[in-house]
Amino acid sequence: MTVLVFGKTGQVARELAQYSDVRCLDRADADLSQPLHCGNMIRRLQPEVVINAAAFTGVDEAEQDEALATVINGDAPAAMAVACAEMAVPFVHISTDYVFDGTGSTAFAPDHETCPLGAYGRSKQVGERGVVAAGGKYAILRTSWVYSRHGKNFLKTMLRLSETRDQLGIVNDQIGGPTPAAAIAAACYAMAGGLLSGSGGAGIYHFSGMPEVSWADFAAEIFAQSGRQVTITEILTQDYPTPAKRPLNSRLNCDSLKEQFGILRPDWRTGLEQLCKDIEVN
């Protein structure tokens, strides 16, 4: 199949670029702040499937410019979905756990009511609704706590801080599933193929790594596998104020993804040691 990917430098897009039949578009090719242009690129290039791996990912920055975040995360994927629907092209769109309010301790199912805490979540919610409203064959994949050797993420931040600090305060009351970007890319690619062949159903799905942990637990495993001697002091979210509110519960129920596409949740601990080494080298 011929796969058109919006995004080129992001964590998931860089992993998708490893597939031989994928063409990735950067900002010069398709600026998501110009939604109609994104839709027209799909019409011009005539791909068999489209994956949107591009987004306004600055959670705190979105609080300062919600209008731009909404155009990029909301209007642009909606325009892509409309073009795909017109052409009967399957569309896979990546979304986030931030569309939920993070209350409780139960894993959120795909059909759970969305209730974002901040601008980033609201902008992604707009995108989800636009994709559904387009009426085409779509799959929305909500994920959480993405990490890789690329871009900005918690793993790279912890390794960087450990170079100069031997003690860190890390939040322990936010719980979620760290998810390797490579696993997300593989899931999106498989879902695109499933939608194209008809072996997988359209809808909203969840995908996150297992087991669920706190940020402090995640950090402890990073330091253990990378051989860093760092003492972690567990703190509460209220002790680390940020412009945007973070959901305390980012657990995602991923059962339907397994049922429809046969995609299993990855153990985020697997391969972490090698990834830490790769980041040190690069």
Cβ-contact 56, 150 below 8 angstroms: no
Please, which residues have CB within 8 angstroms of residue 223's CB and are 6 or more apart in sequence?
A: 158, 162, 229, 230, 232
Identified catalytic residue from 98, 120, 138, 205? 120
Q: Token pair for residue 279?
A: 């980041």
Tell me if residue 138 is catalytic: no
| Enzyme catalytic residues | 120
